[in-house]
């Protein structure tokens, strides 16, 4: 919701910049009578130029502060540990093959020289890869239930390769098609203990899970282990309660649908080599090979696009502001060049002259950028509410952006005024 609202805010800001920076100056110039223009209109002209500069400084402060916040939040989403290790991992799926064919496929993949290890699972904890929700009960108790995400099946190497530790109990000991053991995460174990008051823990306890039965009665499943929690999906607080469900793992005796391949080093050509090898084995089937890290990052594509949009708008706004600043300082230098010359004759140094112009501009720039910072804080505060984990907005963040913008503005003023401030005063006084 807030990504879309933020995009509309960005569009409105760009239109305002176009209106203020383009149409308003033209309209104002058109309203100035020619006779008045020849008699001198400097003071009023400077006022509206300063007003336009001030608005552009406000927008620059808003956009660059917002950009810094959005970028930090984006980096947080990519760098936060989801509870498992996906470095150098590729996701492989082949449509239309059975479990025995997947066994053969995974065996061939393991023989590739750059492959470190492999595992398989029926579900991947990323958006767009499907998930199954079921209900957990205690045998004989139909009144108390809670929801879980059903992983359906993982193979022998899944927990080890993905670095998901088992903190209580053990891995599956019944490794066959009729395995009636399950592993539940810590969140689910806490719910089991709270619901049925199992003070001695959940390992060894019997539960049932909807969707797993013998055709008539639900299967009685033994909890053999408890594993660490993992994050399911992205970090957006989009009202999807299922992300917070406990996860229940079943055993897959044969290779599951999604094959996860961990490379010794995931290079650019690694995915294409893997794709070619698997496609050669099944030329008539659809083969999909993707980087796990890329798929995780794709969950935040809208935030990335929003950040890039703010970046472009910020750069455009700053360029417009700097052009306006150059025009304003050029006019001021030409208007006050005799004053500058007199000051130099009376002993003023280059830095004294530059300080005059810097002081005038900073009186406008500093409060305007602070107003922009406040606007960015209000927008970002609402935008960050759409995430379950978020960065902390501190005053230092806004102070840093303000200093950077002031330095850019100051350098622009110095570069534009230095020639006159350093020139021979006689040049401007010879006509007096």
The pLDDT assigned to 1 comes to 44
Residue 32: pLDDT over 60? no
Residue 224: pLDDT over 90? yes
- Count how many residues are written for the chain: 432
Q: What is the pLDDT of residues 18-29, one digit of tens each?
A: 565 556 555 655
Q: CB–CB of 226/185 below 8 Å?
A: yes
| pLDDT interval class at 278 (50, 70, 90) | very high
Nearest residue to 229 via CA among 247, 243, 242, 251: 247
Burial (0-12, 13-18, 19+ Cβ within 10 Å), 378: exposed
Residue 177: pLDDT over 90? no
* Rounded Cα gap, residues 256 and 252, in angstroms: 7
Instruction: Quote the percentage of the chain above a pLDDT of 70.
Output: 85
The pLDDT assigned to 14 comes to 59
Average pLDDT over residues 84-91: 96
The pLDDT assigned to 252 comes to 92
* Rounded Cα gap, residues 242 and 263, in angstroms: 31
What is residue 166's three-state secondary structure? Answer: strand
By DSSP bridging, strand 221-227 and strand 181-185 are: parallel
Q: What is the pLDDT of residues 310-368, one digit of tens each?
A: 888 888 888 888 888 888 887 777 777 777 777 766 776 777 777 888 888 899 999 99
Q: Where are the domains of the chain?
A: 46-80+299-427, 96-122+252-285, 131-251
Residue 193: pLDDT over 90? yes
Q: What is the residue-averaged pLDDT of the chain? A: 85
Pair of tokens at residue 306: 């929003």
* Rounded Cα gap, residues 277 and 288, in angstroms: 12
Q: Which residue has the tokens 């806004």?
A: 398
Residue 79: pLDDT over 70? yes
pTM of the model: 0.80
Q: Which residue has better confidence, 340 or 133?
A: 133
| pLDDT interval class at 203 (50, 70, 90) | very high
Handedness of CA 336, 340, 346, 351 (dihedral sign): positive
| pLDDT interval class at 229 (50, 70, 90) | very high
């Amino acid at each position: 919701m807030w990504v879309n609202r933020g995009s509309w805010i960005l569009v409105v800001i760009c239109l305002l910049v176009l209106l203020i920076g383009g149409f308003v100056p033209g309209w104002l110039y058109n309203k100035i009578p020619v006779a008045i223009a020849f008699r001198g209109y400097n003071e009023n002209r400077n006022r509206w130029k300063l007003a336009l500069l001030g608005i552009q400084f406000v927008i620059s402060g808003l956009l660059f502060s917002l950009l810094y916040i959005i970028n930090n939040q984006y980096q947080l989403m990519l760098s936060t540990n989801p509870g498992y290790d996906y470095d150098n991992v590729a996701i492989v799926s082949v449509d239309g093959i059975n479990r025995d064919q997947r066994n053969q496929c995974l065996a061939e993949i393991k023989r590739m020289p750059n492959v470190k290890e492999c595992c398989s699972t029926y579900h991947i904890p990323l958006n767009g890869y499907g998930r199954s929700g079921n209900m957990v009960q205690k045998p004989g108790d139909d009144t108390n239930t809670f929801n879980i995400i059903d992983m359906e099946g993982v193979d022998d190497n899944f927990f080890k390769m993905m670095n998901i530790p088992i903190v209580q109990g053990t891995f599956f000991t019944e490794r066959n098609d009729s395995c009636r053991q399950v592993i539940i995460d810590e969140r689910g174990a806490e719910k089991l203990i709270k619901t049925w008051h199992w003070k001695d823990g959940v390992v060894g306890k019997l539960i049932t899970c909807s969707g797993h039965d013998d055709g008539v009665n639900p299967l009685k499943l033994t909890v053999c282990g408890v594993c660490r929690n993992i994050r399911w999906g992205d970090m957006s607080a989009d009202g999807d309660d299922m992300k917070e469900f406990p996860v229940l793992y079943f055993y897959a005796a044969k290779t599951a649908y999604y094959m996860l391949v961990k490379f010794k080093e995931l290079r650019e050509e690694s995915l294409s080599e893997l794709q070619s090898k698997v496609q050669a084995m099944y030329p008539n089937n659809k083969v999909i090979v993707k980087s796990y890290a890329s798929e995780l990052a794709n969950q935040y594509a809208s935030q990335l696009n929003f950040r890039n949009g703010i970046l472009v708008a910020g750069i455009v706004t700053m360029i417009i502001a700097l052009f306006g600043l150059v025009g304003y300082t050029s006019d001021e230098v030409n208007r006050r060049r005799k004053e500058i010359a007199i000051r130099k004759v009376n002993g003023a140094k280059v830095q004294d002259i530059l300080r005059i112009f810097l002081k005038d501009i900073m009186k406008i720039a500093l409060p305007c950028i602070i107003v922009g910072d406040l606007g960015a804080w209000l927008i970002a505060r609402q935008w960050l509410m759409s995430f379950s984990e978020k960065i902390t907005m501190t005053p230092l963040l806004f102070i840093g952006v303000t200093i950077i913008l002031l330095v850019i503005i100051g350098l622009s003023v110095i570069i534009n005024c230095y020639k006159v401030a350093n020139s021979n005063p006689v040049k401007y006084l010879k006509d007096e």
